[in-house]
Structure 1
C-alpha cells in the first residue's frame, strides 16, 4: 500500500544468531525430506525474534518453500479465537488459491470456521468432539498442502494467544507425522509470569521431543557494536557510544535501535517509556494522532477501517502513515498497519488519557458497526465487542459481546466463549432493563432444553447456564462449579424447581469428573426438586446420569431399575439423545450380567442410530464400549473387527481420543491372540493419537505389560513411571486402574518386593467390582496368584503368604465366571494358589487346559501346559515312561507358542525345565530323546542325587562330606555341578527344586559318621 521506506535505525546487517539460524535451517532441510519440524522461539521483548524470523523466512523462500505468518492479537480479556491460523489460512488461500480449495474439498463447511472464504460454516452440536474434528481437519489440510512442497508456518506473539490457538498449535505439534512442514512460534519470555496461561503449554512442549525450544539471549558487546555499525551505514562507532548503548540496552536489539535513533536526534531519555515515545513526540501532531488511533485499534488495523475512523482526507492520512512508517514506528503489511514492535504500542496506549482512549474506541465501534465489511468476517464480532466494551457503553457492549460469544462457540473456542460470557455477566447490571429485555437468548437452547430457553427475553439465569456449559466444554471445572453456585444462589426462594434441578445436575456432573460419587448428594437434591413435577427432559437426564453412576459403581438390581426408568422417561418426553445414552447403559449391563448376545445387540442398535443421527457427543462412547465389551467376554474376533471399523469412523469424524482408545483395545485383542508385533504397533498409534491423559495412560500400561511378557524389565519400569505420571491427579477408571495395578505387581515381584506387590493388590481390590471390569480383574488375580506360587520357596516371601493366598481366594468369590474366558481364568487362578501351597496336581492344570483349549488365548494355554508338565514330572519323580512323554509333548507345545510370539521368559522357563528333566524338545513331533550323558532324573548322577538330598536337608558342605565319606572339596564340586544342572544360583533354590520335583529322596541307605551312639549302617541304634 505504501512504497518501501528506508529505515535509518534498523541494521541492514543481520547480526549474531548464527547458531539459532543454523538450527532452523537444519530443520528446514529435514522438513524438505518429509520430516515435519516444530520450533518454539522465545526471548524478551525486543531481543530480535522477529528479525530472526524474517531472515529465516527469506532463506526458506529462496530455497523454494512457501511461507506464511500469523500473529496473535492482543484484545485483553476478550481474545480472538484462532486469529493467527485464520491469518495463515487466508495468506495460503491468496498464495495457493485452487490448491487450497482442492485440499479442503468436502470439508469446506467445517474449515470455514477458520477461513470464512471457503463458504458457510456448518451448524452442529458444538461440543468438544466437533472441536476435535476441526483440529484434525486442520491437521489434514496442512499435510495435504505440504505433501508436494515445503511449507513454513509461523505464529508470532504466542504470549497473546487465546486458549483455542494454543490448543490447536499443540495439537499440530503432536499430530503431524508425514509432511514437508515447519511450524514455528515465537513468544516473549518477559511476559510469561507465574500464572500466565502460556506456561503450561510451554511445559508440555518440553515433554514433546519433536518440538525444539530456541531461546534468544541478549546480544553480547561485540554484537551490539556490529549492530550499531550496521545502523550507521558501516561507520564504526566510537568506543564510548558502544559502551553506553550496551549498558543501557543490556543487549536488547530493539533498545539498541531506539537508543541510537533517539541519541542522534533528541538526546537520551531517562526512562524506558520516555525512550520509546521519543520518536513519536518528534513527529507532527497529525501523525501522532494517527499513531495513537492505530494503537487503540489493536495489534493490526485494516486500511479501510482506519480511513473510516480517522475521518480525514485520504491524502492527509497517507502522508501521516508514510511518516510513521519512515520513522520506523509502523509497518505496512499489504492490508493494513501494525506497530513495528509491540513495546511501542504499549507505550502509546499507556500515554493516552482515559477519556481519550474511550473516545477513540467509540469511533472504532461506530465505524465497524456501520461498515462491517471493513474487517475479516471471522474477526468482526470479537473486535466489535471489544471496542464497545472499551468505549464504556454497556447498552451497546452487551449485545455485541453476546454475538461474539456465539461466534466463539460456533468455532469451538469454548474458553474464549466463557470469557465473553463472563464479560456479559459483568455488563448485565449496568445495562438498561429495556436493552436486556430486547436481547434474545444466546444461540444455545440445547444447554438446558427443558427450562424454556429461547422462548422469551434473555435472563441472567440463561446467561449463567450458557456460561456453565462453556466452562464444562473448556474443562474449566472450578469456574463451572462457581457459576453453578452463583445460579443456585439466585434461585433460592424462587419457584423454579425444574431450572434448579438442572443446575444441581450440572454440579453433579462436574464433581463426578473429579472423583467417583462426589456428585451424588447434588444429584439427590436434583431428584428431590423434581419430585411431583410433570415428566420432563430434566427428569430423564437426571435418571440417565444416576443410572450411569450406579452402573459404574456396583452390580445391583437397582441399576437395572434406574436405567429402565430413564429409557422410558426419555422416550416419553421425546428426548432421544438421553434415551440413547440410557439404552446403551442398559445394554452394557445386560452383557456384563451374562446376556452377551442381548447386550451386544442392544449396544449395536444404539451405535447404529447414533451414527445415523451423526450425534458426535454420543459416538465416542458407542465406538469404544462395544468392542471393549466384546474383548472382555472373549469375543476377540468381533472385538478386533469392531475396533478397526471404529478407528476408521473416529478418524473420519476427527475424534482422536476415541481413536486412541480403540487402538488400545485393538492392541489388547492382538496381545491376547499372541500377535504381539501388531499389538505393539497399535499401542504406538494410540500414544500418538491420544490428546488426554487417560487413553494415553491405558496405552502406556499395556506397553509395559507387553515389555514384561517379552522379558524387557527395564522398558517396563520406564513405562510404569510414565503411566503413574499420566494418571496422577486424574480420575482413573477401573478399566485403567486395574491394569495399572497389575503392572505394578508384576514389576514389584520381578524386583523381589513381594510385600509391595501384596499392598498394591489389596488396594486395587478394595470394595466392590463395578460392572465391565471382570476382563481386567481376572488377569490381576492371576498375576497375584502366580507371584505367590513363584516365590513360595523364598524365606522372605513365606511371611504373610497364607494371608495373601486367603485374600486372593476371598477376592475371587464375587467375580463373575459366567463367560467361558472368565471360567478358564478362574481355573488358572485356583491352580496357581494351590501351587503356592505346594498342593497343585497335574489334574488341576488339566482342567485349566481343557477350559483354555477352545479359546483364542495361546499364551495362557502355553503357561498352563508348562505347569502341567512340571506337575507331571514332580508326581513321577522325574522318572521315564508315559509321564515323561506327555510332559515333553506339553513342553514342546508351550515352547512353540513362546517362540512364535516372542515370549522370551516363557520360552526360557520351558527350556530350563526340559533340561532339568533330561528331556529333548525336538519340534518334529517325535518322542523326546534323553539328554546326552544323563544317568538319572534331570541329568543328575546317583552321587549327585545323594548330595542334592542332603542339600535339601540343609546340610553344609562339611556335613555332606562327613555323611558321604568324601572330602569337603569334593562335596563342594558336587554342589556346584548340581546348581549348574538345575540352572539355579543358590543352595536354597536347589533345595526348593528337589522338594518340588521329588528329588530329595536318597538313592541308598543313609551313611552317617561313626560316633558314640551310632552304628555304621545308619540304623540309629543308641
Structure 2
C-alpha cells in the first residue's frame, strides 16, 4: 500500500516489541544449538517489521553470526525472479568468498543464474530438473556456511515475491537439515488478499514444526510516546501525542510521517502520505469507491444495516462493492460480523478529506435521516452523538444544536469528557445561529459539580449560554485540556455581573483558582480569596461550601498546619449543613490528609478508605479521583508501600473506567514511587511510562520528570538525571511550588550536584531551602533530604572543601531534625539514619548506631535504604580495631542488594570503599547453586529458570503458571533479574542473557 517505506524521521530509540524480540532471540538460540529455524514476521505496512529484524541483528555478536539480507522487488506488478536470494548470496560471497566458492565448486555456472556477475550461465530451461539443481545448490551453500557459525538469512517483503522466489523459499523451509541456520521472512499481512499467491506457501509451511509465524502489532499509547520522544528529542506535548496516536492508530510509519510534518511545520509530507493512502481507493470500481466515501462519513466503523439504509442499494450490489473494498484492504470486516471499519484512521481521514463540500453534506444528511427513521441502526449510547455530528455536517443548525446539547449530557454520563467538550463547543458555536425559542426548548444540561442551579434571581431554569460555559469548563478540566478550561472561565467571568450574580461568579473564580494552579500560572490564592469574598454574608449554599472546601484543600497543599486543619473542619461542617455529601467527602479527604502525618492509630487512614468507597458508590467522579490519588500517597508516607501499590492499582482501574486520564497519571506516579521503595525498579519505570502517556497538565508532567530524574540518578546516569530535573523545573515553573514538590526538587538537585562534584552548589541549594522553611516538613520528604545533606558533608570530611559552609549545613540539619516529629517506623528509621550520617560527618562514626539503622530498615521492605545502612555500618566498623571481617560482611550485603537493584552509584561507593580497605566482597551464590555465568552475575537457580521464560516471551502470569508460584513472586523474580543484569527491560535482559550464554544448557 505504501510502496517502499523510507523513514525520514526514524526514532533513534528502539521501542517496544519485547515478546516479539524475545521469540526471535529464542530462535537464534535454537539455531545456534544446531537446529535450523525459520520465522515468518507478518504485519501491516509500516508497522515496524524491518526495524525489529534490525534490532535482532544488532544484538548478535560481530564475528559470531553472518547475516545476509535480500528483499523482494516489485517491477510492473511482478516480482523480480530470485531477487532476494541473488542479493543474499551476493552478500555471503562478499563476506565469505572462499567458503561460498568451495561450497559451489564445479557448479559456478549454475550459481551464475542467481549471481550473473560470476559469468555466463549458458542456456537454462525451466524444467523441474533445472529448478531442483539450483534449489539444492542454494541449500548446500547455506548448510555448509552454517556448519561453522550462525547464519541468518533475511528475506524481506515476501508479499512481492515472484513464483520462483516462493518455490525456492518453500524448498529451503521444507528441507532444512543441519547447521546453525535461521531464516527470517517478512511480509505485509494487509497485502495478502484471498487470492494472493503467497497464501499457498503460507498454508504449506504452517504445518512445519520449525517454522513459526510472529504477528507484529501496532504500538500502544506508551510505545507511541517513546517513539515520538526519540524522534523529537523530548517528550511530546500531550495534545500532540493525542493527535498523532489517534490519527496513526499506532502504526510506526504513520507516527514518523505525522511527526515529520509537525517538525517541519509543513503539510507536504502529510499530503504525500494521503496520496499514497488513496492509491488503492482510486483503483476500485466506481461503485466501490462510492461505498467507501459514504462509509468514511460514519467514522472509523459503520454497521452493515446502517450502510445499507444510507446507500439505498440492492443488497447484492452493496455486498459486491464491499467485497472489492475489503480485498483492497481499505475496509476490514468487524470481528463480530456487524459491519466494517477502516484499516487505519488516516485512510478514513484521507477519504473523507477527498469529498466535495456538497457531497459531504448530502451523505451526512442521509445518515441523520436514516438514524431518525430507525434508531436501532446504531447502539443506544451512540445515537445522540452521531445525530449531532451528522446534522452539523449537513449544515442543519437547529437540529445540530438540539442534538449537541442532548449528546453532551449523555457523553458526561458515560464519563466521555473530551467528547462532551467537543459537543458543548459545537453548541456554543451554533448558539447565535438559532432563535430564542429554539434555545429555550433545549434539554436541561445537568449541572456541573457545585454549580448554582440558577444563573441569577431573574433567570428561569432553562439552558443559558453561561450554563454551556460551566459544563464545558468542567469537561475541559476532566479531559485534561486546562488551557481551554481557563479560556472558558475567562469568557464566563466577562459575562457575569458579580454583584447581581455572586454565586455563579464565585463558582467560576474557584474553577479559575484550580486551573491557574494546574497550569503553574499562580498559586490560586488570589482567585480563591475573590470567591470567598463573593459568598461571605450570603445565606448558606452549595457554592459557599464548595469555596470553603477549596480553601481548606489549598491550605493543606501550601500551608499544612493547625490553621488549615481548622479550615477543613469548617468545610466539613458547612457541607453537612447544605446537605452536599459530595462536598463533605472532599472536605473529609482534606482533613484526613492533614492528619495523616500524626495518624498513629490509623483513624484518618480508615476514614480515607471509607471516603473512597462511598465516593465510588455515589459515582462522584471528582471525589473518586481525589480519594484514589490521595490514598496511595498517604499509605506511602506512612511506610505501607505494599498496601500503597495495591491502592494505586485499584485507583488506576477506577480512573480508566471513568475516563480520568489526568488523575490516572497522578495515581501512576504515586504507584511508581511505592514500587521504587519496594525495590521493584523496572516496574517503577513502567508506571512512570504509563503516567507520561496520559498526563496532560504541566504539574503532573513535571512530577513524572522529577521521579524519572531520581530513578536515573541512583542507576548512575547522572547527566540524564540532571536533564530530567531541569525539565521538571521548567514544567513546574515558579508560580505554584508547593512544599512537597520543592523539597523533592531540592533533594534531587543536591544529590545530582554532589555527584557532579559541585559541592558548593549542593550546599547552597540546601541552605536556601532551609532558609525558606522547607526543612520543617512534610516529614516524609524532609528527612530524606536531611539525610542526603548530612551524607555529602560526611563524604566531604577530610577534603579541601571549605569547612565553614559545611558547618552551616550540619548546623541546619541538626536544627531541622530536632524540630521534625517522627511518628511512623519509616520516619524513625530515617531519623536514625540522619543522626548516623551526622555523627560520621562530625568524625564520630558509630557502628552501633548504624546497626540500629540496619535493623530499622530490614523490617520495612526498603532495600535501597537498607543497602545504604549496610554500607554505613561497614564503613563504621572499619574504624574499629579487629572488626574487618564484620565490615566485609556488611559491605558484601550492601553490594549484593545494590547489584540486585541496579543501584550503580551505590555499588561504586561500596566497591571503592572495599578497595581502599583492601577487602574482598564475597558475593557468592547460595550453597548448591550451579557455577557459570548466571551465578557470577548473582542469579539464583530459580532466577535462571525465570530468565529462560522471560527470553521465551512469557508474561509474569505465564511464568507464575509454569513454575507454580504466585504472580507477585514472578514479578519480584523478574525485577531482581533485570537489576542484576543491569537491564532496562525484559527485551534487553533476554538479549544480554543470549550474548552471555546464560540460556544454553
Which residue is equivalent to 1:486? 491
Do residues 401 (structure 1) and 404 (structure 2) align? Answer: yes
Superimposed CA distance per residue, residues 887-909 of structure 1 (whole angstroms, 9 cap, x where no aligned partner): 54762563354144236876886
Distance 1:668 1:28 in 2: 22
Q: What SS does the aligned partner of 1:793 have?
A: coil
Q: Among residues 872, 877, 898, which one is paired with 1:902 in the alignment?
A: 898
Displacement of 1:623 in angstroms is: 4.5
1:498-897 alignment to 2 at 5 Å?
498-515=503-520, 518-593=523-598, 595=600, 597-610=602-615, 613=618, 617-619=622-624, 621-623=626-628, 625-633=630-638, 636=639, 638-644=640-646, 646-648=648-650, 650-651=652-653, 654=656, 657=665, 660-670=668-678, 676=679, 679-690=680-691, 691-692=693-694, 712-713=715-716, 715-722=717-724, 724-725=726-727, 728-730=730-732, 734-735=739-740, 737-762=742-767, 764-765=769-770, 767-769=772-774, 773-798=778-803, 800-809=805-814, 812=817, 814-817=819-822, 822=827, 825-826=830-831, 828-829=833-834, 832-833=837-838, 835-836=840-841, 839-841=842-844, 853-854=855-856, 856=859, 858-859=866-867, 861-866=869-874, 868-869=876-877, 873=879, 884-885=881-882, 887-888=883-884, 891=887, 894-895=890-891, 897=893
Which residue is equivalent to 1:170? 221
1:185-334 alignment to 2 at 5 Å?
199-201=240-242
**Is contact 1:862-1:898 (8 Å) kept?**
yes
Q: What SS does the aligned partner of 2:476 have?
A: helix
Query: Larger deviation: 770-779 or 584-593?
Result: 770-779
Distance 2:540 2:305 in 1: 56
With over 3 angstroms needed to count, the CA separation of the structure-2 counterparts of 1:783 and 1:492, relative to structure 1, is same
**Is contact 1:38-1:211 (8 Å) kept?**
no
Which residue is equivalent to 1:386? 389
Which residue is equivalent to 1:164? none
Displacement of 1:402 in angstroms is: 1.4
- Please tell me the root mean square deviation across aligned C-alpha atoms, in Å: 6.0
With over 3 angstroms needed to count, the CA separation of the structure-2 counterparts of 1:545 and 1:216, relative to structure 1, is closer
**Is contact 1:660-1:687 (8 Å) kept?**
yes
**Is contact 2:599-2:605 (8 Å) kept?**
no
Q: Among residues 17, 23, 28, which one is paired with 2:4 in the alignment?
A: 17
Which residue is equivalent to 1:1012? none
Superimposed CA distance per residue, residues 409-439 of structure 1 (whole angstroms, 9 cap, x where no aligned partner): 3444322321221121122223222222221
Q: Among residues 478, 482, 485, which one is paired with 1:477 in the alignment?
A: 482
Q: Among residues 399, 414, 418, which one is paired with 2:417 in the alignment?
A: 414
Superimposed CA distance per residue, residues 785-838 of structure 1 (whole angstroms, 9 cap, x where no aligned partner): 2212212333355574344445545655654445565466455545645654xx
**Is contact 1:65-1:152 (8 Å) kept?**
no
Distance 1:773 1:831 in 2: 21
Distance 2:726 2:672 in 1: 17
Do residues 423 (structure 1) and 426 (structure 2) align? Answer: yes
Q: What SS does the aligned partner of 2:550 have?
A: helix
With over 3 angstroms needed to count, the CA separation of the structure-2 counterparts of 1:306 and 1:668, relative to structure 1, is closer
1:129-140 alignment to 2 at 5 Å?
none
Which residue is equivalent to 2:447? 445
Distance 1:920 1:336 in 2: 68
Distance 1:209 1:309 in 2: 31
With over 3 angstroms needed to count, the CA separation of the structure-2 counterparts of 1:723 and 1:594, relative to structure 1, is same
TM-score (norm 1): 0.56
**Is contact 1:358-1:390 (8 Å) kept?**
yes
Which residue is equivalent to 1:57? 190
Distance 2:921 2:223 in 1: 53
Which residue is equivalent to 2:980? none
Superimposed CA distance per residue, residues 695-743 of structure 1 (whole angstroms, 9 cap, x where no aligned partner): 787677667657766xx52x35434534544664247765555445433
Task: Give the gaps of 5 or more residues in structure 1.
Answer: 1-13, 67-147, 155-167, 176-183, 190-194, 218-248, 262-278, 671-675, 874-882, 925-1022
With over 3 angstroms needed to count, the CA separation of the structure-2 counterparts of 1:863 and 1:319, relative to structure 1, is closer
Distance 1:426 1:206 in 2: 25
Query: Larger deviation: 822-831 or 413-422?
Result: 822-831
Task: Give the gaps of 5 or more residues in structure 2.
Answer: 26-40, 49-76, 78-156, 161-185, 200-211, 259-271, 658-663, 861-865, 925-1001
Q: What SS does the aligned partner of 2:192 have?
A: helix
Displacement of 1:863 in angstroms is: 4.6
**Is contact 2:565-2:591 (8 Å) kept?**
yes
Say how many residue pairs are matched.
Answer: 706
Which residue is equivalent to 2:35? none
With over 3 angstroms needed to count, the CA separation of the structure-2 counterparts of 1:251 and 1:410, relative to structure 1, is closer
Distance 1:32 1:823 in 2: 44
Distance 1:642 1:289 in 2: 56
Superimposed CA distance per residue, residues 843-871 of structure 1 (whole angstroms, 9 cap, x where no aligned partner): x775675577556464454355346446x
Q: Among residues 342, 364, 371, which one is paired with 2:374 in the alignment?
A: 371
**Is contact 2:744-2:781 (8 Å) kept?**
yes
Query: Larger deviation: 445-454 or 316-325?
Result: 316-325
Displacement of 1:394 in angstroms is: 3.0
Query: Larger deviation: 57-66 or 898-907?
Result: 57-66
**Is contact 2:825-2:856 (8 Å) kept?**
no
> Using CA pairs below 8 Å that are at least 6 residues apart, which structure has the higher relative contact order?
2
With over 3 angstroms needed to count, the CA separation of the structure-2 counterparts of 1:551 and 1:489, relative to structure 1, is same
**Is contact 1:547-1:559 (8 Å) kept?**
yes
Superimposed CA distance per residue, residues 931-961 of structure 1 (whole angstroms, 9 cap, x where no aligned partner): xxxxxxxxxxxxxxxxxxxxxxxxxxxxxxx
With over 3 angstroms needed to count, the CA separation of the structure-2 counterparts of 1:340 and 1:316, relative to structure 1, is farther
Displacement of 1:753 in angstroms is: 1.7
Distance 1:706 1:798 in 2: 31
TM-score (norm 2): 0.57
With over 3 angstroms needed to count, the CA separation of the structure-2 counterparts of 1:325 and 1:212, relative to structure 1, is closer
With over 3 angstroms needed to count, the CA separation of the structure-2 counterparts of 1:534 and 1:828, relative to structure 1, is same
Distance 1:472 1:389 in 2: 25
With over 3 angstroms needed to count, the CA separation of the structure-2 counterparts of 1:580 and 1:433, relative to structure 1, is same
**Is contact 1:27-1:37 (8 Å) kept?**
no
With over 3 angstroms needed to count, the CA separation of the structure-2 counterparts of 1:363 and 1:17, relative to structure 1, is closer
Structure with higher Rg: it is 1
Q: What SS does the aligned partner of 1:884 have?
A: coil
Distance 1:819 1:542 in 2: 33
With over 3 angstroms needed to count, the CA separation of the structure-2 counterparts of 1:169 and 1:373, relative to structure 1, is farther
Distance 1:599 1:322 in 2: 62
Superimposed CA distance per residue, residues 502-523 of structure 1 (whole angstroms, 9 cap, x where no aligned partner): 1111111111212385321111
With over 3 angstroms needed to count, the CA separation of the structure-2 counterparts of 1:206 and 1:485, relative to structure 1, is closer
**Is contact 2:595-2:604 (8 Å) kept?**
yes
